[in-house]
Amino acid sequence: MKRTWTIIGVSNVAASFRWYQGLFGQPATVPSHDGFGRILDSDGTVLLCLHAWGVHEHPSLMSPDSGIPGNGLLLFFRVDDFEAALQRARRLVNRLEQEPHLNPNTKKKEFSLRDPDGYYISISAL
């Protein structure tokens, strides 16, 4: 396997699309359609897929009422612009889940926040 496409269920694909593009400092674009969008890196690598709840009848994406979005899932992104990502994150949320700190395992700076659907996201320096 060379790449994975992480797909999360979201309540509003367009709004989540804008939120993640804001977090990653990407130019604004629009999702493929109302029910699905791919957040792409500048080289075309898929960073994250956003899937509307209840579209296409995928069993695990039928409804957020079938479970707790984000339970058992950590979205972990490594970025090459850590300080800028931190500034963008502070503009997107009222508070961080974890303030910037040195991760003792990776020896890199990181912080954590939640997206509009409640998913837990950690951003780490590359």
At residue 25, the pLDDT reads 96
Q: Would you say residue 69 has pLDDT above 70?
A: no
Structure tokens at 56: 């296409």
User: What domains are there in the chain, each with its CATH number?
Assistant: 7-125 (3.10.180.10)
Q: Is 111 exposed, middle or buried (0-12, 13-18, 19+ CB in 10 A)?
A: buried
| pTM for this predicted structure | 0.87
Per-residue pLDDT tens digits for 28-53: 999 988 899 999 999 999 999 999 98
What is the spatial distance between Cα 83 and Cα 32, in angstroms, rounded to a whole number?
30
